[in-house]
A and B are shown apart, each in its own frame.
Chain A
Amino acid sequence: MSDRNLNLVEAVNDALHGAMAADDRVMVSGEDVAESGGVFRATEGLLEAFGAERVLDFPLSEIAIVGTAIGLAMQGKRPVVEIQFSGFMPPAFNQLVQNAGRIRWRNRGEHSAPMVVRAPYGGGVRALEHHSESLEAAYAHVPGVKVVVPATPADAKGLLRSAIEDPDPVLFFEPKRIYRSFREPVTEGDHRVPIGEAAVPREGSDVTVIAWGSMLHYALQAAENLAPAVDVEVVDLRTLSPLDRETIVASVQKTGRAVVVHEAPRSGGFAGEIVTSINEEALMYLEAPIERVTGFDTPMPMLAMEDYYLPNPPRIERAIESVLAG
């Protein structure tokens, strides 16, 4: 198979085309996904290629988008729905908690909800209020649903194909700040990346920086800025739930120091779960307290202040220097 140079949103689009061609049970619905091809163009061309029965512009209701997808999945379809911005997903939380994450367990395996909810998430695109949130930790707290966050075009394609074929419901959060920020070669045709496995895009021996989504690239930038004086290893989590503790623990056992980066609010953020995992399995390897670089315990600010809120490479470098000094 050859490669094509794609950016992240093109890779999502490519995965959707491939999955719909491969399995006619796959359907796409959401707000503005059909006629206009999605506000970020992630679903471009699907209506033309697969028709209005499988690609549907949906009424304005996150509850119904997610809730009907659960029913369709239980009935035998493979819905892949889009929530236009993850900031608007909270009304659907009830459906995720009561039904998506629970039906297999309640119904003792008689029914299940193999479905994907895609949602652009995160800040940095100068959007209006309520368009830039990062609530992944809340969803990772829900038993029975998986939470996936790609950080590269190749992973976006491979993870989305895996998510669509996964027997369980998957929330697929797409870092919209880097939808179009760079391209990389992506395998044409079938390409899958397993859910539940972190990646190590940069190996190092001094300190482990763990990140996901758009923050991965700031972590890599910080590592680059500190090299060669500091040899930073960067872990791209890729899946938050189920968590790949093995990769995290192996890295920290090697480096003895760790920094966790996320743009979501600090308190109750997913860094807490990662730090706990390290404490449970690698505490004795630690040579310094773990640091977090995060957003603040505030609502996501409006665009004039959002860059102050988001972590950036200098903040990450400062945290790395701090754990090295510890």
Chain B
Amino acid sequence: MSQDAHGFSEAGLGPPTADFDAARLSQGSDAPARYRFVEPDGSYDPEAVPDFAVEELRDIYYWLLLQRRFDERMVKLQRRGEMGTVATARGQEASVVGVSFGLEQRDWLLPYGREPAALIRHGVSMRDIILYWLGVMDANRLPDSNSLPYAIAIGTHVPVGVGYAWGLSMDDEDAVVTMMMGDGQFSTGEAQTAMNVAGVVDAPAVFFALNNQYAISLPFSGQTAANSVAQKALAWGLDGIRVDGNDVLAVVDAMRRARRRARQGTPVLLEAVTYRLEAHTTNDDPSRYRDDAEVDWWRERDPMDRFRSFLESEGVWADIDEDGMREEIDERFDRAREEVAAYESGGIEELFEYVYDEMTPALRDQLADLEAVLEERPDAAEYIEERPKG
């Protein structure tokens, strides 16, 4: 009955039903479950937590602290007028560090701006991250790291990342491409169409969504009628995973599993549910659009406090010299700033280089003209503000 003489079949078209509700898809009223080991109060079921070496636990804490301290130092510089606009990840450290510990060095990490700790672990120099926020183009060169410039134009990196991952799989490389993104970017056409394609070409890709509840002022509930980011994976034939983004060990474990799955040819959309405790960037004032009570509720779920409590329960905390770590991180930051101060700009040629493989005649003329202006008209300097040094 369901197969005709030509061999066509209804199999694969889905079972028929006369029950309308059985044919209606609905997300239901609840968001999907979050993967979590450690409760906000620090309690946990020891049987459920995967094994981590003590050294690795200590290491994870160090990088959480580095992420937080780096943000603090950058904001301080910005407030003093020594830095451009800065975006921080306060409250989201476990997601940033978790994704990093779930990756291999040979993987590609495509950042979106809130993940200095993950980038540094992936081979990007701290100097270059600071130079980036000072608006120095050379900072986007990212030598010796499998990374690419930040996805500032939201969603634009997703088709590119899928293509890159597709290419890696064609070459049988044992590597995945992980794209960092916020909850807002799922509204963009570019991201959505690319995730669909990722499933079609079996791209070894992980879409790591930091759902920090806000796209500048817009809460997640205004961004989409969907209960979660992760469920969007179903429509595109990908795996969706939801994880408590403030439980660093859950993020690490989920990311490791997502990586393996992507490597096998099923791209994964991994949603880390977390919260942006600070402003969108240093240009933003969140008091205009959200209540302190909400921020306080999330502050009690601080990912570092939770992990520290876990380390205490495990008896690891006693071996961690937090002050020493912080001092070491500050020295590291100070050294990076010295390197920033020592950085010499390549001059105005930087503007014209790399537009094409070979500079066009028009660009050569324009460079020569700018050089002539600066020579003939020293007063042009009045209109040129140099970046702050160091």
Binds B, one of A9-17, A32-40, A108-116, A158-166: A32-40
Interface range on chain A (Cβ under 8 Å from partner): 35 or more
Contact B184 A318 (CB under 8 A): no
In the complex, chain B residues whose CB is within 8 Å of the CB of A36: 216-217, 284-285, 288-289
Binds A, one of B62-70, B232-240, B302-310, B359-367: B359-367
User: A312: CB under 8 A from chain B?
Assistant: yes
Contact B351 A61 (CB under 8 A): no
In the complex, chain B residues whose CB is within 8 Å of the CB of A35: 217-218, 288-289
Q: Which of A36, A57, A307, A313 has the most CB of B within 10 A?
A: A36
Return the CB mask of A35-64 against B: 1 if under 8 Å, else 0.
111010000000000000000011111111
CA distance A36 to B288 in the complex (A): 5
User: B370: CB under 8 A from chain A?
Assistant: yes
Interface residue ranges of B341-384 to A (CB < 8 Å): 345, 348, 350-352, 355, 360, 362-363, 366-367, 370, 373, 376-377, 379-380, 383-384
Known interface pairs A60-B223, A305-B137; A129-B152 also in contact (CB < 8 Å): yes
Contact A297 B363 (CB under 8 A): yes
User: B189: CB under 8 A from chain A?
Assistant: yes
Contact A126 B135 (CB under 8 A): yes
In the complex, chain A residues whose CB is within 8 Å of the CB of B224: 59
User: A87: CB under 8 A from chain B?
Assistant: yes
Contact A60 B380 (CB under 8 A): no
In the complex, chain B residues whose CB is within 8 Å of the CB of A254: none
Interface residue ranges of B197-220 to A (CB < 8 Å): 215-218
Contact B217 A57 (CB under 8 A): yes
User: A304: CB under 8 A from chain B?
Assistant: yes
In the complex, chain B residues whose CB is within 8 Å of the CB of A274: none
- Contact partner of A296 (CB less than 8 A), chosen from B140, B363, B380, is B363
Nearest-neighbour CB distance to chain A for B163, whole angstroms, equals: 18
User: B385: CB under 8 A from chain A?
Assistant: yes
Known interface pairs A63-B189, A296-B363, A304-B135; A31-B218 also in contact (CB < 8 Å): yes
User: A105: CB under 8 A from chain B?
Assistant: no
User: B85: CB under 8 A from chain A?
Assistant: yes
Return the CB mask of B174-189 against A: 1 if under 8 Å, else 0.
0000000000110111
CA distance A130 to B152 in the complex (A): 7
User: A298: CB under 8 A from chain B?
Assistant: yes
Nearest-neighbour CB distance to chain A for B257, whole angstroms, equals: 29
Known interface pairs A59-B224, A130-B152, A315-B380; A297-B218 also in contact (CB < 8 Å): no
In the complex, chain B residues whose CB is within 8 Å of the CB of A60: 154, 184-185, 187-188, 215, 218, 223
- Contact partner of A298 (CB less than 8 A), chosen from B134, B217, B363, B377, is B363
Known interface pairs A37-B288, A267-B362, A312-B383; A301-B153 also in contact (CB < 8 Å): no
- Contact partner of A32 (CB less than 8 A), chosen from B187, B217, B348, B380, is B217
CA distance A32 to B280 in the complex (A): 12
In the complex, chain A residues whose CB is within 8 Å of the CB of B188: 60-63, 91
In the complex, chain A residues whose CB is within 8 Å of the CB of B216: 31-32, 36, 39
Nearest-neighbour CB distance to chain A for B341, whole angstroms, equals: 14
In the complex, chain A residues whose CB is within 8 Å of the CB of B384: 307-308, 312
Considering the complex, give the chain A residue whose CB is closest to the CB of B345.
A304
Contact B85 A305 (CB under 8 A): no
- Contact partner of B377 (CB less than 8 A), chosen from A61, A296, A318, is A318
User: B79: CB under 8 A from chain A?
Assistant: no
User: B168: CB under 8 A from chain A?
Assistant: no
Known interface pairs A91-B190, A126-B84; A305-B217 also in contact (CB < 8 Å): no
CA distance A144 to B149 in the complex (A): 37
Contact A39 B283 (CB under 8 A): yes
Considering the complex, give the chain B residue whose CB is closest to the CB of A131.
B152
In the complex, chain A residues whose CB is within 8 Å of the CB of B366: 266, 296-297
Known interface pairs A60-B187, A318-B377; A304-B387 also in contact (CB < 8 Å): yes
Known interface pairs A59-B223, A303-B135, A308-B384; A315-B187 also in contact (CB < 8 Å): no
In the complex, chain B residues whose CB is within 8 Å of the CB of A296: 351-352, 363, 366-367, 370
Known interface pairs A37-B288, A314-B383, A315-B380; A305-B350 also in contact (CB < 8 Å): yes
User: B123: CB under 8 A from chain A?
Assistant: no
User: B143: CB under 8 A from chain A?
Assistant: no
Return the CB mask of B273-295 against A: 1 if under 8 Å, else 0.
00000000001110011000000
Nearest-neighbour CB distance to chain B for A301, whole angstroms, equals: 5
Considering the complex, give the chain B residue whose CB is closest to the CB of A56.
B222
Return the CB mask of B17-57 against A: 1 if under 8 Å, else 0.
00000000000000000000000000000000000000000
Contact A314 B380 (CB under 8 A): yes
CA distance A287 to B137 in the complex (A): 42
Contact A305 B380 (CB under 8 A): no
Considering the complex, give the chain A residue whose CB is closest to the CB of B350.
A305
In the complex, chain B residues whose CB is within 8 Å of the CB of A58: 218
Interface residue ranges of A108-136 to B (CB < 8 Å): 126-131
User: A306: CB under 8 A from chain B?
Assistant: yes
Contact B84 A313 (CB under 8 A): no
CA distance A304 to B348 in the complex (A): 11
Interface residue ranges of B151-176 to A (CB < 8 Å): 152-154
Chain A residues at the B interface, C-beta cutoff of 8 Å: 31-32, 35-37, 39, 57-64, 87-88, 91, 126-131, 266-267, 296-299, 301-310, 312-315, 317-318
Closest 4 pairs (CB-CB, A-B)? A303-B135, A60-B184, A312-B383, A314-B377
Q: Give 8 CB contacts A-B under 8 Å.
A: A60-B188, A63-B189, A297-B363, A304-B135, A304-B137, A305-B351, A315-B373, A318-B376
